[in-house]
Structure 1
Amino acid sequence: MPETSGKTVYKSLGLCGFGLGSNSAAVDVKDGKILRIRPMHYDEKYDYESMRPWKITARNGAVLEPKTHTLPTPLQYAYKKRVYSKNRVPYPLKRVDWDPNGERHPETRGEAKYVRISWDEATDIVASELKRIYAEYGPFAVLAQIDGHGESKIIHAAHGCPGKLLDLLGGYTLQARQPDSWEGWTWGAKHIWGMDPVGKQAHTENLFKDIAENGDCVIMWSGDPETTPWGWGGMMPGRVESFLTEAGIKQIFITPDLNYAAAAHADKWIPVLPNTDAALQCAIAYVWMKEGLYDREWVESHSVGFDWFERYILGGEDGVAKTPAWAAPITGVSARQIKALARYWAKHAVSIGHCAGGGLIRAAYSSEPARLEVCLLTMQQLGKPGAGQINFMDVGLFGIDDIYPFPRCELQPDMNSVYHGWAMLTEPVNFIPKTLIPQAIMNPPVHWSGGHVIAGMPAQDQFIEWDFPQPGAGEIHMIWTDSPCWQTCWNGGNEMQRALRHPNLQFIVAQHPWLENDALFADIILPTTTKLEVNDISSDLFSGQYNMILHEEQAVPHVGESLSDWEAVGEVAKKLGLYEQYAEGTEEELIKKGFENSGCEKYLTYEEWMEKGYFVVPTAENWENDRLHMRPWYEDPDSEPLSTPTGKIEFYSTALAEHYPDDVERPPVPHFVPYGESHSESLLHPRAKEYPFLLITNHPRWRVHANNDDNTWMREFETCKVKGPDGYLYEPIWVNPLDAGRLNLHDGDICKIFNERGAVLGGVRLSERVIPGALYQDHGARVDSIVIGEFDRGGANNLICPSNTTSKNCPGEVTNSFLINIAKVDVLELAKQYPVEFAKFYDKDTGHVAESCIIKEGR
């Protein structure tokens, strides 16, 4: 138990970090309660100068330098509301009509109530079910959903602990997480410029320094590079954008919506219809080709296949020249604007900025705009002074040194020796891409092209054909999940709801701190802690300021009967006689082992580190002399061959031509693909007559994916929720006034957005910050089903995303830029039509789980 006297502990409060910490903060505690969360000051226990503070100076004298304190976001400051949420699972729960020795009633998952049971009973049931299923069906009958973004815990990792135990039992089927934030990069860009591990992020070393000294403009293409990193990298991206403005470096935002970063920092906003960026890119290339605004000799020395690309752009392949006049009605960007953008870009040192990739990277056929971006960067001499590609989120991603655009620290602390997360493993014989889980449950066998699917696999892995189940393995009969938010964060969530109720699934166990989303479909729920309730070790690698390693002292007691993920699985391991092999030591032993293998042991002793509570890694000496991103390749491509088959940029992909020569959805030369065999999510398709809007579903400002939707402080913002006439707080839908006028919609109206896959509700916010023809609703709202598999009240629009993957040979997610319609509804009449379902789980004002969800003792 933690002390009850006043104290301050240090926590890395990254809420979406795969065990890689970020957003470190000081947590002030008194009498076992969190008083406040605030920035931690680096110089509280260290001489600031010993950290070697760095400085980037622009050519006009503007300065970017780190603060003397950390930069948490509102999500971190408000996190105590998440810790003390009434949605916390207070004790182990069993679905009331699920009997492991009798009727299991899979058809009531998602609507049945729960009853309290003891940890002893819960772990007995889980251990017994594991033994039975392994005996009857073999180990691959257990699907481990142990991937996903989670709190940045290491020993008590939120995603992965069950994998260790299941491995000890003989194996399992892994839910293979495909590269969700990098879909188009992995399936497309990797085949034009390589750039492992994920296909994006060319070398970015010292890129901000180079832009400050030589750049003229950064094009922020798709997405919100300030808001999206709030769960990963704190407030540093916003500081960088402000610095760009101070340095006189223009910022052009090309997005369907004037997002928060654009509203604060844009010198120019070019609104483009969702899913049409590829047409805009083609038209820019056309202007450069016709007006000679690129160095052909340089392009040909650094690439292969440019003549194929030129043939397509100029119309030699299909008879359609990709002119600005051709692109204008498709994109909503006038031909005049396209020409002006192309000419400005050709005359200036321009970089492209992203936060992972934005909506275009998670849309249908996202491989194409990703490849076309590389084409444009190459045509304007990628790597020349002031010209590169920036990711505002993934500074320090996974410890990869060559994608760190800020001044480099001497090392990135390594947590792998004690990290219990297993999200990215490729060892299991049997696995299913996350995007294909519903089909694999309801309609096996499933076949796909795309290899192991997991982010970071080499490009050639994508050409392997796979099947589920593998020979000798059976179907899925059990799920163990510690990432229960598939339906609200992935593609085709309504289909997943139906899969979770399928009779093939005999048992679902979820471990989670909160009663929400997929946890509401579990048969047994194990209550787990947040990171503020555990003693752990962690790192901070995403801040963009300094790297740190922290001893994360337990701040407050466990809420209710919760255990950490590591402890919860350990209780099941004890029932199976496998605890020692599973645990691999005590918590204290693992913390010490983690420190002594982190790389930081060369700077101070374990005892010194424990006394201070954290260690700040100094900035590297002479960092200014480090490599400049792609400059060496720009100057001599033969000295640094790329990881493509030819070692050069491939406008014509030799590997795609060899393996998929007839794939019109991802041809050897990048194309604009509006619709095809896999998708019809385009205003150019006849289906748009019935569903005439494209939905933008960005990362939300007031939560991280589905995390934080119950935070009452956040729900007070008008931009977070819209209060309906029934008092319920609905997820906002931005509607352009021109569209609203045609449809007689008004600010505050409650509407349904819908397509043939289902419908979700939301509240109208009239705004010129969204382009006509598109609607905007953040993704990640918690599921609050009115009719399971059909109709949702909470605004969880992933339920109505396409179920099909990126394209037929790319098993990636499609969760953005899809066709819908919108119609006003009378929620008071809906409540009469669905009287029980409409008030099923969540309180209308606070968003907390209604008491009726759990059958209280004695009732």
Structure 2
Amino acid sequence: MSKKSEEKSFIKGLGWCGFGVGSNSASVDVKDGKVIRIRPFHFDDEYAPEDMKPWKIKARGKVFEPTMKSLLPPFSIAYKKRTYSPNRIPYPLKRVDWDPNGERNPQNRGKSKFVRISWDEATDLVASELERVQKKYGPLSVLAQADGHGDTKCIHGPHGCQTKLLNIMGGYTLQARNPDSWEGWYWGAKHVWGQDPVGQGNQNNLWQDVAKNTGMLLYWGCDQETNTWGWSGQQASRLSYWFTELGIRSIYICPDLNYAAAVHADKWIPVNPNTDAALQFAIAYTWIKEDIYDKEYLATHAHGFDEFKKYVVGEVDGIAKTPEWAAPLCGVPSRTIKALAREWAEVATTIVHCNGGSFIRSTYSSEPGRLEICLLGMQGLGKPGRNQLKMIEWGLFGMDSQVPHPRAEVIPNASGAYNGMFSDMPQQFIPKTLIPEAILSDTQISWHGTTLNSSPREDQFIEYKYPIDDGGTEIHMIWTDTPCWTTCWNGGNKMIEALRSPKIEFVLAQHPWLENDCLFADILLPINTKLEEEDFSVDQFSGQFHQVFYEGQCMEPLFESKSDYEAVCEVAKKLGLYEEYTKGKSVEEMIQSGYQVCGIADKISYEEFRKKQYYVVPTAEGWEDDPAGFEPFCQDPESSPLQTPTGKLEYFSTELAEYFPDDEERKPVPQWIPYGESHSESLLHPRSEKYPFLIVSNHPRWRVHANMDDFTWLREIETCKVRGADGYMYEPVWINPIDADKLGIVNGDIVKVLNDRGMVLGGAYVTERIIPGTVYQDHGARLDLIVPGECDRGGANNLIAPGQIMSKNCAGEVTSGYLVDVEKADINELKANYPEAFARKYHKDAGIVIDSWIEGGV
């Protein structure tokens, strides 16, 4: 803590999806009411190390232990730039040509500018529209977009403050958040090994298991250097270095030599997008033919392996899945496939993931998701050193055992202080991946599964409908506090069409920044950032210590901004529901409620907690003896069965056979599906003649999803943005030199990335870190629309991702591994064709429009 009298220091920390200051604790230094720096928090400022009981993992003569300071990612250190961004929404805004008493002009959403109004006028309009729409169509006519991908808060969010008010008013329709980063495991792996909630494996004590027992780590589609920044800070990076020090081989299997692979890989095995299943089948074939898999294990731990084996060797379809068969499909030489298979069989191997990528967020990704588990089972899943490791921990779901690192005495949760997100499942909902279809369809739609990442496996066989049969209605109003659908989900241009539908009479967005879906709102409410609020939170993700925080208000709210909670309170006042909504509780009382139920009340008094502002949960005694991963199942599958119908690894899914016997896209036994009824996103499909590249679109290196694209410090980095000849900072498009040469593209050129769904621009980054025939562009870039629904300058490639769900009965997203073409762009031609878009003025560092979406400027 700063000792200077003229400065104050506040503690900030985050729970899940830490888009504010990372999901580690941070010290925020304030001088004269202005945030001057954000820096790591030193635990031993107030605590003696012996009070925290720091853990130590001892393996192979070396020791790994937590640091005594938080491991902040760059996002955290730079977050003050987000708070002071020139892109902040300064005051309530109304779209200039939206008249609630006249023409609403929905077709102009995304085109029209906004005009300043007061909070009083804004909340009058919101309250009257809520009452009008619900009276005319019923309560379910209001869609609440209230899920992740935003500034993480607790009392003042994190998201869903409006759902409490809508429940009081009689209900609403929920946008049901899909598994997102876990799609293939959710829709596929669950049917092999159970593993609710999202289908990834049991993480118990795996850091120690890997350190002591693993000989090889397969980072399959994994970039832990990037994907953990917004959640776990730098701990995954430390861990990767330590595994290398221990002599554990690190193999990266991915189309791109990503940031982690560039630093940690002993070998990079580049694989074509959407073809991991071919590689996996070829590994299984090698094991079967060379008799180097664990037959004794499978005899007692697996169901239906013989059916799987028949498919692998070609008895089902006449195609043996040999390395020679797989090599031209996946781009990995047959000799490499065989060498990988043999080494995997010889040494204890663990597969490593962080969150998704092309591997797990593409077409038919249920297949590689479950094939991964089939391979792990063939080598004795749960034996020492043979598991699936997730590089960030499972605190999100509050499961005491689901931590790969040493267990804490308590896994705290902040549910007692939440003002949103944890409402009961409403009567009517729509999967997030199906929102555009639901709005644009003239008939009732149906699907299977709630798609919520916390739903159990058996929910995937239940059919749901929109509108529901009994009392259902179409939606006619959208209230969003997560306005990034177009830049983060599947088929953003289709979503733009839906947002401009005359069915949607009113769009209300509340957000700190004027970006992305906010451009399609009728009313905008200005929201605070974390640094402007007093809050309560927990950190379950850092991998060092579990912590609970009182988060002081670091600065006064900028402009006329309020918190999400306060904004909804203002609407509740106009509806006469304020007392019922707040239950008479102050922020201080909500902080105390959070403390009472989070799990630490018997460890530290509230008075001491408020004085110190945080509590570090000590490491649990005896954590070293906790079983690792699937060890209990491995040792005794009868007494420790899996969460599958048979209690075993299901190579033949009994439930898929029972419920979806005619589904050719997700059969009881995993299949190789390059394309099918739902998708043609394959280089083997004739469509690839027109669109000859597959695009890899991972979680971004220099953002967290669609957050932080206006960080001026980060935009100076070469792989963050590419400055075009016109001075504009374009989202990088990685292109292999072989492809670039054929296309006449050089480093720094402006390029078009296009398909039959539209076009986005980018800046060429010519590099051998991407394989030929594939291009790479991160997802989540800020919208900078040239023509809404057609083309975008900012590089938001989710706009041109497929609008369809993952497969026939899997309502998951497809946001990577789809077909595109790439062309060199002529800036003069673009300016001539789109003079208005290319005449905009931009902030020279942040790259955002400064001639403003606000009529008359700010």
Would you call these one fold, judging by a TM-score over 0.5?
yes
Residue equivalent to 1:55: 56
Give the drift of 1:489. 0.2
Contact 2:219-2:251 within 8 A present in 1 as well: yes
Contact 1:15 1:231 (8 Å CA) reproduced: no
Distance 2:649 2:442 in 1: 39
Pair 1:448 & 2:446 matched: yes
Structure 2: how far apart are the matches of 1:341 and 1:425?
47
Counterpart of 2:654 in structure 1 is 654
Please state if 1:406 is matched with 2:391.
no
Aligned partners of 2:177 and 2:451 also within 8 Å: yes
CA distance in 2, matches of 1:560, 1:134: 32
Q: Name the CA distance, whole Å, in 2 between partners of 1:275 and 1:600.
A: 46
Kept in 2: contact 1:275–1:364 (CA 8 A): yes
The AA in structure 2 aligned to 1:321 is A
Q: Which residue of 2 aligns with 1:709?
A: 709
After TM superposition, give the deviation of residue 347 of structure 1 in Å. 0.2
Given that 2:16 and 2:396 are in contact with CA atoms closer than 8 Å, whether structure 1 keeps it comes out as no
Partner of 1:486 in structure 2?
A: 485
Asked whether the 8 Å contact 2:14–2:153 carries over to 1, the reply is no
Give the counterpart letter for 1:340 in structure 2. Answer: A
Further displaced range: 506-515 or 581-590: 581-590
The Cα offsets for residues 276-325 of structure 1, whole Å up to 9 and x where unpaired, read as 00000000000000000112121121011001000000000000000000
1:453-468 pair list within 5 angstroms: 453-468=451-466
> 1:377 corresponds to which residue?
376
Name the amino acid aligned to 1:56. I
- The Cα of 1:475 is off from its aligned counterpart by 1.2
Please state how far the C-alpha of 1:445 moved relative to its aligned partner: 3.1
Contact 2:15–2:537 (8 Å) recurs in 1: no
One-letter identity of the residue aligned with 1:52: K
Residue range with higher mean Cα deviation, 268-277 or 295-304? 295-304
| Cross-structure match for 2:189 | 189
**Alignment partner, residue 78 of structure 1:** 78
| Structure 2 counterpart of 1:22, one-letter code | S
> Is 1:789 aligned to residue 789 of structure 2?
yes
Q: How many correspondences in the alignment?
A: 853
Contact 1:784 1:841 in 2 (8 A): no
Which deviates more, 3-12 or 621-630? Answer: 3-12
The separation in 1 between residues aligned to 2:321 and 2:529, in whole angstroms, is 52
| CA shift in 2, pair 1:675/1:288, >3 Å | same
Counterpart amino acid of residue 740 in structure 1: A
Say if 1:191 and 1:653, in contact at 8 Å, map to a contact too. Answer: yes
Which residue matches 1:531?
A: 530
Q: What is the CA distance between 1:828 and its match in structure 2?
A: 2.7
Query: Which residue of the partner structure matches residue 779 of structure 1?
Result: 779
Shift of 1:328: 0.2
Are the aligned partners of 2:438 and 2:445 in contact in 1 as well (CA < 8 Å)?
Answer: no
Query: Judging changes above 3 Å, is the alpha-carbon distance between structure 1 residues 108 and 167 closer, same or farther for their aligned structure 2 residues?
Result: same
Amino acid at match of 1:448: S
Question: What amino acid sits opposite 2:486 in the alignment?
Answer: Q
Shift of 1:672: 1.3
Displaced runs of 4 or more, over 6 A: 18-21
Query: Which secondary structure state, in structure 2, belongs to the residue aligned with residue 853 of structure 1?
Result: coil
User: Helix, strand or coil for the counterpart of 2:9?
Assistant: strand
Check conservation: 1:20, 1:541, Cα contact below 8 A. Answer: no
Matched, 1:432 2:430: yes
CA deviation profile, 1:80-125 (whole Å, cap 9, x unmatched): 0000000000000000111111111111111111111000000000
What is the correspondence of 1:194-209 to structure 2 with a 5 Å cutoff? 194-200=194-200, 202-209=201-208
AA in 2 matched with 1:636: D
- Superposition deviation, residue 840 in structure 1: 4.7
Aligned to 1:695: 695
CA distance in 2 between partners of 1:610 and 1:437 (Å)? 43
* Counterpart secondary structure, 1:90: coil
Give distance in 2, aligned partners of 1:19 and 1:679. 37
Cα distance, 1:163 vs. partner? 0.5
Tell me how far apart the structure 2 counterparts of residues 445 and 176 of structure 1 sit (CA, whole Å). 20
Where do 1:598-677 residues align within 5 Å? 598-677=598-677
User: Cα offset for 1:740?
Assistant: 1.1
Whole-angstrom distance in 2 between the partners of 1:20 and 1:719: 22
2:396 — aligned with what? 397
Task: Structure 1 unaligned segments of length 5 or more: list them.
Answer: none
Q: Is the 8 A contact 2:840 2:851 kept in 1?
A: no
Query: SS state of the match for residue 70, structure 1?
Result: coil
> How far does residue 415 in structure 1 lie from its aligned partner after superposition?
1.0
Contact 2:285 2:321 in 1 (8 A): yes
- Deviation per CA, 1:812-848: give whole Å up to 9, x if none: 0000100000000112321121111234585465322
Provide the rounded CA distance (Å) in 2 between the counterparts of 1:21 and 1:766: 31
8 A contact 2:20–2:530 mirrored in 1 = no
Q: Using the TM superposition, give the Cα deviation of residue 396 of structure 1 relative to its aligned residue in structure 2, in angstroms.
A: 2.4
Matched with 2:365 is 366
Q: 1:19 to 1:516 in 2, by over 3 A?
A: closer
- TM-score of the superposed pair, with normalisation by structure 2: 0.98
Following the alignment from structure 1 to structure 2, what is the Cα–Cα distance between the partners of residues 596 and 849?
A: 45
1:232 aligned counterpart, secondary structure: helix
Contact 1:228 1:393 in 2 (8 A): no
1:509 paired residue number: 508
Equivalents in 2 of 1:121, 1:163: separation in Å? Answer: 22
Post-superposition offset of 1:6: 1.7
Q: Percent identity?
A: 59
1:26 is the counterpart of 2:27: yes
One-letter amino acid of the structure 1 residue matched with residue 452 of structure 2: I
Structure 1, residues 405-445: CA drift from partner, whole Å, max 9, x if none? 100111011211121231x6552111100011011111143
Give the Cα–Cα distance (whole angstroms) in 2 for the partners of residues 93 and 840 of structure 1.
20
**8 Å Cα contact 2:14-2:20 kept in structure 1:** no
Partner of 2:683: 683
RMSD (Å), alpha carbons: 1.6
Q: By how many angstroms is 1:253 displaced?
A: 0.3
| SS across alignment from 2:415 | coil
Deviates more, 1:443-452 or 1:580-589: 443-452
SS in 2 for 1:644: coil
Q: Secondary structure of the residue that 2:385 maps to in structure 1?
A: coil
> For residue 165 of structure 2, what is the amino acid of its counterpart?
L
Partners of 2:348 and 2:250 in 1: CA distance: 12
> Does the CA-based 8 Å contact 1:114-1:853 persist in structure 2?
yes
Mapped partners of 2:401, 2:252: distance in 1: 26
* Conserved 8 A contact 1:22-1:152: no
> How many angstroms apart in 2 are the aligned matches of 1:771 and 1:382?
32
CA distance in 2, matches of 1:293, 1:702: 42
Q: Show the counterpart of 2:568.
A: 569
Q: Is the 8 A contact 1:4 1:30 kept in 2?
A: no
Shift of 1:493: 0.2
Q: Is the 8 A contact 2:250 2:264 kept in 1?
A: yes
The CA distance in 1 between the partners of 2:491 and 2:153, in whole Å, is 29
Structure 2: distance between partners of 1:775 and 1:667:
31
What corresponds to 2:131 in structure 1? 131
Deviation per residue, 1:441-476 (Å, 9 max, x gap): 111434333221111211111111111101222211
Matched-pair contact (CA < 8 Å) for 1:13–1:151: no
Q: Quote the residue 1:343 is aligned against.
A: 342
Could you tell me which residue of structure 2 aligns to residue 581 of structure 1?
A: 580
- One-letter code aligned to 1:29: V
Equivalent residues of 1:444, 1:469 under 8 A apart? no
Change (3 A) 1:618 1:36: same
Looking at structure 2, the residues matched to 246 and 537 of structure 1 have their Cα atoms a distance apart, in angstroms, of 38
Q: Which amino acid aligns with 1:612?
A: K
Alignment of 1:830-845 (within 5 A): 830-840=830-840, 842-843=842-843, 845=845
> How far apart are the structure 2 equivalents of 1:391 and 1:98?
47
* CA distance, structure 1, for counterparts of residue 557 and residue 481 of structure 2: 18
Cα offsets for 1:30-49 (capped at 9, x unmatched): 11101100000000011112
Counterparts of 2:840 and 2:534 in 1: how far apart (Å)? 36
Structure 1's 220 and 685: CA in aligned 2 closer, same or farther, altered over 3 A? Answer: same
Match of 1:254 in 2: 253
- Paired letter, 1:6: E
Cα distance in structure 1, aligned partners of 2:638 and 2:111: 62
Distance in 1 (alpha carbons) for counterparts of 2:70 and 2:279: 39
CA 1:337/1:253 → structure 2, altered by over 3 Å: closer, same or farther?
same
SS of structure 1 residue aligned to 2:416: coil
* Aligned residue in 2 for 1:213: 212
Relative to 1, partners in 2 of residues 1:590 and 1:137: Cα closer, same or farther, differing over 3 Å?
same
Q: CA deviation at 1:394?
A: 3.3
Aligned to 1:813: 813
Which residue of 2 is the match for residue 356 of structure 1? 355
